[in-house]
Amino acid sequence: MLGMFEPGGGVVKPENAVLAALKEAEDNGATIWESMKVLSLREKIDASNELSHVEIVVQRGDSSPEILQAKSVLVGAGAWTSKLIPSYEPHLKPIRQLQTWVDISSTSNPGLYDGGTQMPAHVAVLPGLSRPVYTLPADLKGTNKDKYSSCVKLGIHGRDYPIDPDKNPSTVTQEEVDEMRNAIRKTYNAEIGSLPLTETKPCMYTMTKDDHFIIGVPGGYSRTCVVAGLSGHGFKMVPALGQMLADFALGRGLESWHVGFCSPTRFGV
């Protein structure tokens, strides 16, 4: 068995992190529209043949589409990016991932699986599994309790199951549950391996061919900046990516960030 351990690593709970980011954005004057679908965007030329604005077509629920105008647009659409930037389609591959939780509170020593005392977040390459598995520890002594606090979370990193994001079922099949149960049994001891799965959910990665992000202005655009293809390792970098996009929106560009290796030009787009 081969494992990789980073002593300085930690765990960020995505649910809490997203809520905190949304609150901070609103506290700083942002307006957040939920249940809004972006149908298309394009940069518009005015009568003097000058680029004037970006036109965004949106739809709220079942209402009629609306047209919004903006000086610049920042796109962080995940698996749906190529539906807005069609030239990216050959270079972004959404794939269906699975994550599962197992409640360890009934084990003989739950503290062994607590992130605050014993168990680190880790990734491992295991015999009998074609992909690495990652595990996040339980949070038995944490202050922000939720239904997953007494659970370890496990996922298979990068399972190659291409999916249309608009046709990605929100439920899991029995075959997928069995796949995750097998991963748990191969990762943990018999005590954990015999426990029922508390919950199994799907999610998505959006992969690039080289596993690096795409950050920059697509060909044919000048006021639209895109972050895409985070390839399963982008969430922890969202604060920095947000700062990059803010710099672009404020006219400062991306040069100071030295992200040329993530430029869309490497794919000719």
**Mean pLDDT (whole number) for 59-68:** 94
Q: Where are the domains of the chain?
A: 33-92+210-267, 96-204
207 has a pLDDT exceeding 80 = yes
Report the alpha-carbon distance of residue 78 to residue 226 in Å, rounded.
10
Res 211: pLDDT: 95
Output the pTM of the full model. Answer: 0.90
| pLDDT at site 47 | 74
- 246 DSSP assignment: H
Say yes or no to pLDDT of 197 above 90: yes
CA angle 8, 126, 194 (to 5 degrees): 100
Mean pLDDT of 105-133: 91
Would you state the pLDDT for residue 131? 92
Q: Tell me the pLDDT tens digit for each residue of 13-29.
A: 888 899 999 999 999 99
Q: 33-92+210-267 is classed in which CATH architecture?
A: 3-Layer(bba) Sandwich (3.50)
**Choices 3.50.50.60, 3.30.70.240, 3.30.9.10, 3.90.1150.10: CATH for 96-204:** 3.30.9.10
pLDDT of the residue at 7: 77
More confident residue, 1 or 66: 66
Instruction: Let me know: does 95 contact 160? Beta carbons within 8 Å.
Output: yes
What band does 1 get if pLDDT is binned at 50, 70 and 90? low
Q: What is the pLDDT of residues 155-184, one digit of tens each?
A: 999 999 999 999 999 999 999 999 999 999
H helices of the chain, where?
14-27, 81-84, 174-187, 190-193, 238-249
First-to-final CA distance of the chain: 40
| Cα–Cα distance, 97 to 164 (Å, whole number) | 13
Q: Within 13 Å of residue 241, how many CA atoms lie on the same side as its CB?
A: 20
Nearest-angstrom CA–CA distance, 103 and 124: 20
Q: What confidence tens digit (pLDDT) does each residue in 243-267 have?
A: 999 999 999 999 999 999 999 999 9
What pLDDT, on the 0 to 100 scale, is given for residue 32? 94
Average pLDDT, the chain: 93
Tens-place pLDDT, residues 120-146: 888 888 888 999 999 999 999 887 788
Distance (Å, rounded) from C-alpha 145 to C-alpha 126? Answer: 31
pLDDT of residue 194: 93
> How is 90-125 classified by DSSP, letter by letter?
GG-EEEEEEEEEEE-TTSS-GGGGBTTTTPPPEEEE
Paired tokens of 38: 């972006």
